[in-house]
Amino acid sequence: MNSELMNKIVLGEAESILPKIEDNSIDLVLTDPPYFLDKMDDKWDNDKVSKITDYCHTIKSLPPGMKFNKEQGKRFYKWYFKISKELYRVLKPGGFFFSFSSPRLYHRMVSAIDDVGFLIRDCFIWLYTQNQPKAMSLNHFIDKLDYDNETKIELKERLNGWKTPQIKSCFEPIVMAQKKYERTFLNNMLKYNVGLLNTNVKIGEDMFPSNVMTTQRIHEITNKCFLLPKPTKEEKGEFNIHKTVKPLAICEYIIKLTTCSEDAVVLDPFVGSGTTSVAAKKLGRKFIGIDTNLEYVEIALKRLENIERETVSYYETKNNGIQLRVLEAKSKYLRKRKQTSVRSGK
Ligand SMILES: C[S@@+](CC[C@H](N)C(=O)[O-])C[C@H]1O[C@@H](n2cnc3c(N)ncnc32)[C@H](O)[C@@H]1O
C-alpha cells in the first residue's frame, strides 16, 4: 500500500491520506502542523491568510495568529488527538514523532499526543534572537476613554512602557514523542531499526547532540553547544512563498538523530513547501509528504527536483539474520567547518 505513496508529495487532507498508510511502516514522523490560530486552522491557506482583514475585532492591525481564544486550543487538541492516533498506528514500534509547535499551544499539542499513548520523551527548542515583538502600547485605547485630555496624558505617562502581554518570542518548542517500543530498546532496534538516538550526530563544535538547536550565531557558548548550519539563501527556493518554512538543518539533524537505515521512511502529514521531505531525500531516506494546498505541493516538488542525495557510507552487521544498518555520514556542515578550521589553523 505504501509503495503508491513512497517518495511522493500527496495532495490531500492528512485525515483521508493517513488511513492509506500501512500499520508499523514509518520510521519517523517529523511535522509542523497548522496551529489553529485565528484563521490558520486545518484549512490553512496562504492566500486567505494574507487577505484576512477582520481577524481581530478590537484592533484591526493585529496580524493573524495574535488573537487569543481558548476555544482554538481545545479544537486543536481534539483534531490533533485524531491525527496523532493515526500517526501512532503507522509508526513502527519505538518510532519517533517530532512535532513543532508554538509556546502558546504546546500544552494542548503534547496532551493530545500523550493521551493517544505516545511516550513523551523530551522537548526540543529551536532558539533564535530575532522576532517581531508583538506587544502593543495602550495609548490607542486611552485616547478612546471618556476622560479629559490632562487625565489621558497623565495615564499615558503612568503606563509608559507597559504593553499588552506578548513577550518577544524567541524559541519554538518541538515535542519528541515515541511509540511504545517492543520489549527492550535493543530488541526494538534490532527488529525495527528505530528507537535509539544516534549520538554520532554532532551539534555545534562536535558536541553531544542536545535538545537546543539554533541556526543563528548568538554567542561563543551557544555556537559551541547548539549551532547548526545557517539556512542558505537558495535553500527555500526563490519561488517559495510559504510563510512558515523550517530550516533544513533542523530537519536534517532530527532525521539523522533518529533514523539509521537507508530504507527509513520519514512522514510529514503537513509538509507545506516540503522541507522535511527535502531533508530526507538529501540524506538518502525515503519520504511521504502530505498537504492540502496545491500551490505548496508544487513548490515542494520543485524543491525536491533540485536536491541531490548526499553521499553516505554505511556498514552492515547481522544479528540472528536481522540487519542493522548504521549510516555514518557526518553532516556537510561539520566536514566544512573542519576544513575551515584546518585552513585557519584552529
Ligand atoms: C505550518 S505549515 C508547514 C510548513 C512546512 N514545515 C515548511 O517548511 O514548508 C502547515 C501546512 O499544513 C497544511 N495543512 C493544513 N491543514 C491540512 C490538512 N488537514 N491536511 C494536510 N495538510 C494540511 C497547510 O497547507 C500548510 O502548508
Angle (deg, nearest 10), helices 275-282 and 294-305: 20
How would DSSP label each residue in 21-78?
Answer: SPTT-EEEEEE-----BTTBSTT--HHHHHH---S-SS-TTPPTT----HHHHHHHHH
**Positions of CATH 3.40.50.150 in the chain:** 2-132+169-343
For residues 90 and 252, the answer to whether their CB atoms sit within 8 Å is no
C-beta 14 within 6 A of ligand 1: yes
- Position 316 pLDDT exceeds 50: no
Separation of CA 242 and ligand 1 centre (Å): 10
Per residue in 202-237, pLDDT tens? 999 999 999 999 999 999 999 999 999 988 878 888
C-beta 35 within 6 A of ligand 1: no
The per-residue pLDDT for 71 is 84
Give the list of residues 6+ apart from residue 51 with CB closer than 8 angstroms, or none. none
% of the chain exceeding 90 in pLDDT: 68
pTM comes to: 0.84
The atom of ligand 1 lying closest to the CA of 13 is 20
C-beta 304 within 6 A of ligand 1: no
C-beta 303 within 6 A of ligand 1: no
The atom of ligand 1 lying closest to the CA of 42 is 16
Indicate the CATH number for domain 2-132+169-343. 3.40.50.150
The per-residue pLDDT for 200 is 95
Element (H, E) at 155: helix 149-158
User: Number of C-alpha atoms within 13 angstroms, CB side, residue 255?
Assistant: 34
Pocket test for ligand 1, best of 255, 292, 297, 304 (most atoms within 8 A of CB): 292
3-state SS, residue 289: strand
